[in-house]
Amino acid sequence: MNSTIQNIYFRSDQAKAYTLLSPALILVIFAMAAPMIVMIFTSFNTQISMIEIDRTFTTGRYEDFFSKPIFSMLLFRSVKISFFVTLLTLVTTYPLAYYIAFYVKKNKMLWIVLMTLPFWTSYLLRVFSWRVILGNKGVINSALMGTGMIDEPLGFLLYNQAAVIITLSHAWAAFAILPLYVSLDKIDKSLLEASYDLGNTKFETFWRVTFPLSLPGVIGAILIIFIPTVGDYVTPQLVGGTDGRMLSNMIQSLFGRANNFPLGAASAVLMLTTVCLIAALVTYITKKVSMRMS
Partner 1 sequence: MSIKNYIKIKNLSKSFGDVEVLKNINLEVEEGEFFSLLGPSGCGKTTLLRILAGFEYPSEGEVFFDDANVTSLPPNLRPSNMVFQNYAIFPHINVQRNIEFGLRKENLSKDEMQKRVENALKMVQLEGYENRYSNQLSGGQRQRIALARALVKQPKVLLLDEPLGALDKKLREEMQIELRNLQKSLGITFIFVTHDQEEAMTMSDRIAVMDEGNILQVSPPKEIYHNPKNKFVSQFIGNINILGAEIKSVSNENLLIEVDCFGSMQLKNYQQIIENDRINIAIRPEEITISKISDPNYDYNFQGNVKNISFYGESTYFYVQLNNSDKILMVSKNETKEPFSENDNCFVNFSSNNLKIIKD
Partner 2 sequence: MYNKNNTLFIYCVFYFAFLYIPVLLLPIFSFNDSFHMVFPLKGFTFDWYIQMWNKSRLHQALFNSIKVGIIASVVSTFIALFAAKAFTRYKVKFHGLSYGAILLPFIIPEIIIAVALIVIWTSMGLKLGLIPVTISHILFCTPFCMLILISRMEGFDKSLEEASMDLGENSFWTFWRVTFPLLLPGIIASLLLAFVISFDEFILAFFLSSSDQTLPIYMWSQLRFPKKFPHILALGAIIIIVTSLIVMTAYWLRNLGQGKKKDFSIGI
Q: How far is the CB of 68 from partner 2 (least distance, A)?
A: 19
Cβ burial 38-54 (10 Å sphere, 16+ → b, else e): ebeebbbbbbeeeeeee
- Contacted by 28, from partner 2, partner 1, none: CB < 5 to 8 Å by type: partner 2
- Choices 2-10, 14-22, 205-213, 217-225 (CB under 8 A): range interacting with partner 1: 2-10
* Phi, psi dihedral angles at 47 (to 5 degrees): -85, 125
Closest to partner 1 by CB, 9 or 57:
9
- Contacted by 147, from partner 2, partner 1, none: CB < 5 to 8 Å by type: none
- Contacted by 286, from partner 1, partner 2, none: CB < 5 to 8 Å by type: none
Q: How far is the CB of 222 from partner 2 (least distance, A)?
A: 12
The three-class DSSP label of residue 53 is: strand
Q: How far is the CB of 11 from partner 1 (least distance, A)?
A: 13
Q: How far is the CB of 6 from partner 1 (least distance, A)?
A: 7
Q: How far is the CB of 271 from partner 2 (least distance, A)?
A: 7
Contact 103, 184 (CB under 8 A): no
Q: How far is the CB of 1 from partner 1 (least distance, A)?
A: 8
Name the DSSP letter for residue 241: T
* Phi, psi dihedral angles at 88 (to 5 degrees): -60, -45
- Choices 4-12, 58-66, 159-167, 175-183 (CB under 8 A): range interacting with partner 1: 4-12
Q: 47 pairs with which residues across the strands?
A: 53
* 69-102 vs 247-255: helix crossing angle, rounded to 10: 120
Closest to partner 1 by CB, 3 or 294:
3
Q: How far is the CB of 18 from partner 1 (least distance, A)?
A: 19
Footprint on residues 5-24 left by partner 1 (CB under 8 A): 5-6, 9
What track of x and - describes contact with partner 1 for positions 160 through 179 (by CB under 8 A)? --------------------
User: Can you tell me the distance from the alpha carbon of 184 to that of 209, in angstroms, rounded to the nearest whole number?
Assistant: 11
Closest to partner 1 by CB, 12 or 121:
12
Applying CB under 8 A, what is the total number of residues that bind partner 1?
4
Contacts by residues 153-161 (CB-CB < 8 Å, ≥ 24 positions apart)? 158/131, 158/134, 158/239, 158/241, 159/239, 159/240, 159/241, 159/242, 159/243, 159/244, 160/240, 160/241, 160/243, 160/244, 161/77, 161/80, 161/81, 161/240, 161/243, 161/244
- Tell which one of 2, 49, 56, 147 touches partner 1 (CB under 8 A): 2
- How far, CA to CA in Å, does 241 sit from each of 86, 125, 234? 21, 18, 12
- Contacted by 143, from partner 1, partner 2, none: CB < 5 to 8 Å by type: partner 2
Contact 265, 254 (CB under 8 A): no
Residues within the interface to partner 1 (CB under 8 A):
2, 5-6, 9
